[in-house]
């Protein structure tokens, strides 16, 4: 449901300008694929039976009223009519009254490591998937807090600017993979710098950063940035994913696993969780460190700490009144269904096959 809402928000631009009141109904449109499959199978079987006739003339003698086009035309009308009726039931609504409403929350920036080492499978199914689960749990725990997403490897990129549309954030998280950042590495410092720049300078809202990574290739620069952020009252939290023992990194080509990653000398690369560095980073940033595991993501302590950060009141424009426009789709759907009913079971001259 949240995915449907986020897609609607993306299509209409303004996150509240248009909405589907019953967005769960939109999933029924997928039934059209089932209809197409069943119809295609029936057409194939019918064509196979008709192929037994030796000539077109013989076929016309036995089935003089057979129309090749009528069946397809009626199926298209019925299927489109069904889909449009579903859209009517979902009830598209447009906002017609926008007002200032007051909310209270913090600005939270999530920095997700998308380097190749996050494909390691010491956490099941792999580190990146577990990281996404952690982020979803964080998002679901938020109230009116704004959230942003930064992905990083050897460089950092703002995937989602700060927003209070949590369903859109979840949708963006699902699309993240290790191919987003082409530069290899784990440059936590660049992610922290970008997070700082991504916060509105004039905003009085309290701020926090959560870094989700295995902590490899960590350097002292990130510690220095975390210390400066803490001085500006921006807390830095860290979530460590992986094992200290280490494991190999799967290598994929065209979606197929072709072995494990090797270095320039041909030796197998082993990736390990750099827990001391992540603990030091969180300590420098005035936050806390938690280690994710297969049994538990261990987030509750961190979520409690984030929840204790003082909420700052801010104003947001929201639509408080909506007008339903289901009539558009209902009228169109009825039109398609009526056209289907009005087509005679025998072919008309206007649909005669040539």
78-126 tens-digit pLDDT: 899 999 999 999 888 886 666 666 778 899 999 999 999 999 999 999 9
Q: Which residues contact 28 (CB under 8 A, 6 or more apart)?
A: 86
Is the distance from CB of 108 to CB of 142 less than 8 angstroms? yes
Q: Which residues contact 315 (CB under 8 A, 6 or more apart)?
A: 100, 101, 102, 103
10-residue stretch averages of pLDDT, the chain, 354 residues long: 47 58 88 90 75 59 60 85 91 73 86 95 93 91 91 95 88 90 92 96 88 82 95 95 92 87 91 94 95 73 87 68 84 86 56 46
- List beta partners, residue 240: 213, 291
Residue 58: the pLDDT is 55
CATH code of domain 107-310: 3.40.50.410
Q: Can you tell me the distance from the alpha carbon of 213 to that of 178, in angstroms, rounded to the nearest whole number?
A: 13
Residue 10: the pLDDT is 43
Q: 20-53 b/e with 16+ CB inside 10 Å = b?
A: beebebbeeeeeeeeeeeebeeeeeeeeeeeeee
Nearest to 116 by CA among 286, 242, 284: 242
Q: Which residues contact 303 (CB under 8 A, 6 or more apart)?
A: 137, 138, 141
């Amino acid at each position: 449901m949240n995915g449907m809402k986020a897609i609607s928000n993306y299509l209409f631009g303004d996150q509240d300008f248009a909405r589907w009141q019953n967005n769960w109904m939109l999933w029924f449109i997928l039934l059209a694929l089932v209809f197409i499959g069943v119809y295609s199978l029936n057409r194939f079987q019918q064509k196979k039976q008709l192929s037994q006739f030796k000539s077109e003339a013989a076929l016309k003698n036995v089935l003089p009223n057979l129309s090749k086009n009528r069946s397809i035309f009626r199926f298209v009308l019925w299927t489109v009519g069904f889909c449009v009726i579903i859209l009517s039931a979902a009830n598209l609504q447009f906002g017609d009254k926008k007002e200032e409403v007051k909310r209270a929350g913090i600005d939270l920036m999530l920095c997700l490591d998308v380097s190749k080492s996050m494909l390691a499978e010491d956490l099941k199914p792999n580190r990146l998937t577990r990281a996404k689960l952690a982020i979803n749990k964080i998002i679901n725990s938020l109230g009116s807090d704004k959230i942003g997403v930064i992905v990083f490897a050897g460089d950092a990129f703002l995937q989602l600017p700060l927003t209070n549309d949590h369903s859109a954030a979840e949708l963006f998280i699902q699309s993240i993979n290790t191919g987003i950042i082409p530069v290899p590495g784990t440059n936590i410092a660049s992610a922290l710098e970008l997070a700082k720049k991504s916060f509105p300078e004039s905003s009085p809202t309290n701020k926090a950063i959560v870094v989700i990574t295995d902590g490899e290739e960590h350097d002292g620069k990130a510690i220095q940035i975390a210390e400066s952020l803490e001085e500006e009252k921006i807390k830095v939290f860290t979530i460590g994913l992986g094992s200290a023992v280490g494991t190999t990194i799967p290598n994929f080509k065209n979606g197929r696993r072709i072995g494990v990653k090797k270095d320039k000398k041909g030796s197998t690369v082993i990736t390990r969780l750099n827990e001391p560095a992540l603990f030091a980073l969180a300590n420098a940033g005035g936050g806390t460190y938690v280690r994710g595991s297969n049994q538990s993501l261990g987030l509750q302590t961190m979520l409690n700490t984030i929840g204790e950060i003082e909420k700052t009141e801010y104003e947001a424009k929201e639509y408080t009144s909506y007008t339903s426009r289901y009539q558009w789709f209902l009228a169109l759907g009825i039109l398609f269904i009526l056209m289907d009913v009005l087509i005679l079971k025998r072919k008309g001259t206007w649909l005669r096959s040539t």
